[in-house]
Structures are given as C-alpha cells and as structure tokens.
Structure 1
Amino acid sequence: MIYLTQLIHIVPGQEKVFDQFEDIALSTIGKYNGRLFFRLRPDEKSFIEIGTDKPYEIHFLGFDTEQDFENFKKDKKRREFLHLKEQSIKTSLLIKGTKI
C-alpha cells in the first residue's frame, strides 16, 4: 500500500469551489482501491508550532498500489472537474510513503 498525506492551501474565498471538487474526487477514491483515512480542517488551536502557512485541509489516504493511484488521477469524471481544483487551490504539498 502507498500512503499519501496532502497539505492543501486554498485561494481565499474559494472554499465552496474546493468543496465541490472534493465531493467528486473523494467519492472516486474507492473505485481505485483507495481509502480516505482522514480529512482534517484544523483550527488555530490545532497547531502547537508552525513555520509556514497553515493548511486549510490535511488529507491522509492510501491506495493498494502506485498504479491504483495513477488510475485515480486519470479518472475521467475527476478530470472533468479539475478546473475547480485549479480555481480553488493556491498550493498543495503531497507526501508519499509506504509502511515499513
């Protein structure tokens, strides 16, 4: 299994657009042997110390294989709505790992 952690920073005022994209993207994960372990929207009290911009959301998910993840990214329905992602996300950082 591969594990992914994503730190997402939103364009101010585009929260609803982001939610529209996430509804589509997250509902597609299971189709490609993926699992959403958690989706966090941390508030100010969640941070003990921070040296960068605070993320709007943090996602932790996994896919059985790298190919499953690639297939998810190429999903036709998800790709139809990438414009919502591009409109709403300022930056994101994807951290990929495996269980050892």
Structure 2
Amino acid sequence: MAGFDLTHILLDDIAIQFPQLKMIVAHLGHPWIGETLVLIRKHPNLYSDISATLQEFNTTTGPLSRELCLTPIQPEDGYLRVPQGPGLGVEVDESVINKYRVA
C-alpha cells in the first residue's frame, strides 16, 4: 500500500521484547509524528529528538502543533530562540498528548 509504513509496528514489538533497550526515534518519526508520540507515551524505553519539528517552524494551524507546548515557540524577527528549559527545552502539555493518544 503506497504511503504505508511498518516502522512503528516494528518499534512497538522491539520495545515490548526488549524493555531495557533504550531507543531514540530520529526527527520525532516524521512524517509519522502522531504514531511516534503514541509509542513514546506507551514505552518508557523509547525516546525521540524533536529536530524535525523545530528545525523548520511549523506554520500549520492543526490543533496538535498549536496546543502541544504550554508556552508556544514564537518567531522573533524571522528567527526562533532555542528553548532554554530542561529536557526538550519546552514544557509539553500532557493533557494534549492524552487527548490525541490512540489507545
């Protein structure tokens, strides 16, 4: 099937079979960002960088991209400031992750 990818199904299986194995999904799994967020919530041994979402500023009006951070990252004079908080540098709204989670 065109556009169908099994990577997330395989990652889910590997995370279940090897719970001590820490895995990092590059670029937040782009273009399967939603699926990657689900897996990260499900498996404490699965991580991701966010380079795909912050490398280029997302100008879409989708609710997930606008609601995910408690303090949205705003462009200033055509630039984005690198977030200075711990971890991802931004505070993620857990209720938004739960809202869009696929069980």
Normalised to the residue count of structure 2, the TM-score between the two structures is: 0.25
Q: Going by fraction, where is strand more abundant, 1 or 2?
A: 1
* Higher RCO, 1 vs 2 (CA within 8 Å, ≥6 residues apart): 1
Answer with 1 or 2: which has the greater Rg.
Answer: 2
TM-score by length of 1: 0.25
